[in-house]
């Protein structure tokens, strides 16, 4: 490899490291937001104003399916990252689309759950508990939806630009985002759904 190419590579690596750190700082800010929404939920969980509580509303089977969908999607995204490292474009697209499908199934289940609760008169305006619930779980669902749009954008970039250095660098940051959302979901089923049904 020529000296110029080596210099170019190390410059690209440095740019990648800087952007990864910047994105990591954003994720840590997001972690603080989620932590405070969790704290609000824990403080409000008993303020049901005579309305339905968690045990009347939550469906453990639904929560288990949502958990499985997100966990498997985190793993399939890992396969996409590995395929990007070996330069296998078709495999990257395949695993990104599988991840998208799992994430979309998660969001549709969540929307159905929310719609069912609102139809049963347990919307976010019913009690402090439900306001906190919809804010916390809805914020997570919104993040996953943004992640889905991002996955589609990256599919387009992988198809049109190939696995160029900037595209792989963006895929890496999308991976950080997607795995981070799975961690936030661990908090949601451990603080919202499981204690609510205990």
Partner 1 sequence: MQNHSGHDLRSYLIGFVLAVVLTAIPFYVVITHALPPSRAMILIGVAAILQILVHLKFFLHINFTTTPKENLLAIVFTVVLIFIMVGGSFWIMFDLHQRMAV
Q: Which residues bind partner 1 (CB under 8 A)?
A: 16-17, 20-21, 24-25, 28, 31-32, 35-36, 38-40, 42-43, 60, 64, 67, 71-72, 74-75, 78-79, 82, 84-85, 165, 168-169, 172, 176, 179-180, 182-183, 186-187, 189-191, 194-195, 197-198
Return the number of the residue (23 or 118) whose C-beta is nearest partner 1.
Answer: 23
Give Cα separations from 137 to 98, 144, 149 (angstroms): 23, 11, 19
For 145, the enclosing helix (H) or strand (E) is: helix 128-161
Q: How far is the CB of 31 from partner 1 (least distance, A)?
A: 5
User: In the complex, what is the shortest distance from the CB of residue 159 to partner 1, in angstroms, rounded to a whole number?
Assistant: 19
d(CA 101, CA 180): 18
Shortest approach of partner 1 to residue 58 CB, angstroms? 10
- Beta carbons of 104 and 148 less than 8 angstroms apart: yes
Nearest to partner 1 of 65, 104 (CB atom): 65
Structure tokens at 50: 């005579």
For residue 167, the minimal CB distance to partner 1 (Å) is 10
Give yes or no for a contact between 62 and 113, defined as CB atoms under 8 angstroms apart: yes
The rounded Cα 27 to chain-centroid distance in angstroms is: 11
Q: Which residue, 118 or 194, has its beta carbon nearer to partner 1? A: 194
Minimum distance between the CB of residue 62 and partner 1, rounded to whole angstroms?
A: 12
Burial group, residue 144, by CB count within 10 angstroms (0-12, 13-18, 19+) = buried
Rg (CA), the chain: 20
Pick the closer one to partner 1 by CB: 72 or 93.
72
For residue 92, what are its two tokens? 């990257």
* Residue number with CB closer to partner 1 (4 or 32): 32
């Amino acid at each position: 490899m020529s000296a110029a190419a080596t210099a170019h590579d190390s410059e690209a690596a440095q740019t990648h490291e800087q952007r990864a750190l910047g994105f990591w700082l954003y994720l840590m800010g997001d972690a603080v937001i989620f932590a405070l929404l969790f704290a609000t939920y824990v403080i409000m969980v008993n303020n049901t104003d005579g309305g339905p509580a968690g045990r009347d509303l939550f469906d453990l089977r639904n929560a288990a399916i949502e958990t499985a969908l997100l966990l498997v999607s985190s793993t399939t995204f890992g396969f996409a990252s590995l395929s990007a490292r070996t330069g296998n474009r078709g495999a990257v697209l395949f695993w990104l689309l599988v991840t998208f499908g799992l994430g979309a199934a998660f969001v549709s289940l969540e929307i159905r759950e929310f719609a069912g609760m609102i139809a049963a008169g347990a919307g976010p305006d019913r009690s402090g508990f439900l306001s906190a619930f919809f804010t916390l779980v809805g914020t997570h669902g919104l993040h996953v939806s943004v992640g889905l749009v991002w996955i589609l954008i990256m599919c387009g970039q992988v198809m049109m630009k190939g696995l160029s250095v900037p595209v792989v660098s963006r895929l890496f940051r999308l991976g950080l985002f997607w795995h981070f959302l799975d961690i936030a979901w661990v908090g949601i089923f451990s603080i919202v759904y499981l204690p609510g049904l205990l």
